[in-house]
Amino acid sequence: MSKENVIKEEEFSVEQKLIALYSLQQIDSQIDKIKIIRGELPLEVEDLEDEIAGLKTRIANFNEEVETLNQSILQRKEAIKESQGLIKRYEEQQLNVRNNREYDSLTKELEFQTLEIEFSDKKIKESIYKIENQKAEIEQAENKLKERQLDLKSKQDELKDIVAETEKEELRMIEKSKDNEKFIEERLLSAYKRIRKNARNGLAVVQIERDACGGCFNKIPPQHQLDIRVHKKVIVCDYCGRILVDNEVADIVTEKLKE
């Protein structure tokens, strides 16, 4: 913090410090809300991008499997041609055998090549069936991919619009937050930031509501409530450590932020 921005603690009353702290809290809460509105969309966009990448990989894998099956069919067809050529040759050789042993040997070769053709035919049919299934999976995945790409485009456009709408307001609020910080001495500001960082909902300064802390909802003792109302010192909740303000300070800040 520059020397120009350092403001000594004694220059401001406790009430002024509480007003500055609660104002800072309200401004920072508005910034949080802007981030929440925008914060969900980038995650949705990221999820869709991941899903689209997964679908593209899946389609590529299916196409690769189809190509492998097509290559297998070509190889089987070549094997059938080879077996058919051998069958023709063995049948011609059977016409010129010299004894039964040669004839039986050729007959076994013919039977074997016939079985090879049947086996290859069976494998071709299986591959064709698998290709049909894979193509159905590809079509389904491609349809889903188109849907997700449309969803992504819609979410990206929505995010772009929200960023355009909120960016100016967010920058204005950030500037306002920095301006408010100048009215809080370093010790209090550090405490505020520490409490805010550890708080689940980002609330470091809260109003008393129905005799209870507006952060953790535990009851505030009457003496503490009196101390808070007289604005003589900064009081924190005994349970959650949040800085407490009364209705008067809250009302002043509400009116101030309307300006």
Q: What's the burial of 75, exposed, middle or buried (CB within 10 Å: 0-12/13-18/19+)?
A: middle
In DSSP terms, 213 is beta-bridged to 208
Buried b (16+ CB within 10 A) or exposed e, 108-145: ebbeebeebbeebeeebeebeeebeebeebbeebeeeb
CATH number at residue 111: 1.10.287
pLDDT for residue 35: 82
Count of domains forming the chain: 1
Is residue 159 domain-resident?
yes
**Residue 19 maps to a domain:** no
Is 199 part of a structural domain of the chain?
Answer: no
* Residue-level pLDDT at 8: 44
Query: 24: closest CA among 246, 170, 191, 192?
Result: 192
- pLDDT of the residue at 258: 74
- In sequence order, what are the residues at sequence separation of 6 or more whose Cβ sits closer than 8 angstroms to the Cβ of residue 187? 9
Amino acid letter, residue 62: F
Q: What is the pLDDT of residue 3?
A: 35
Rounded to two decimals, the pTM is 0.57
> Domain span at residue 58?
39-168
Whether 220 is in a domain gets the answer no
Q: What is the pLDDT of residue 11?
A: 65
Q: Which token pair is 7? A: 């403001």
pLDDT in tens, the chain (259 residues): 443 333 344 567 889 889 999 999 999 998 888 888 777 888 899 999 999 999 999 999 999 999 999 999 999 999 999 999 999 999 999 999 899 999 999 999 999 999 999 999 999 999 999 999 999 999 999 999 999 999 999 999 988 888 887 888 888 888 888 888 888 888 989 999 999 998 888 999 999 999 999 999 999 999 989 999 999 889 999 999 999 999 999 999 988 887 6
236 inside domain: no
In a domain, 149, yes or no: yes
Does some domain include residue 3? no
Report phi then psi at 66, rounded to 5: -60, -45
| Type of residue found at 228 | I
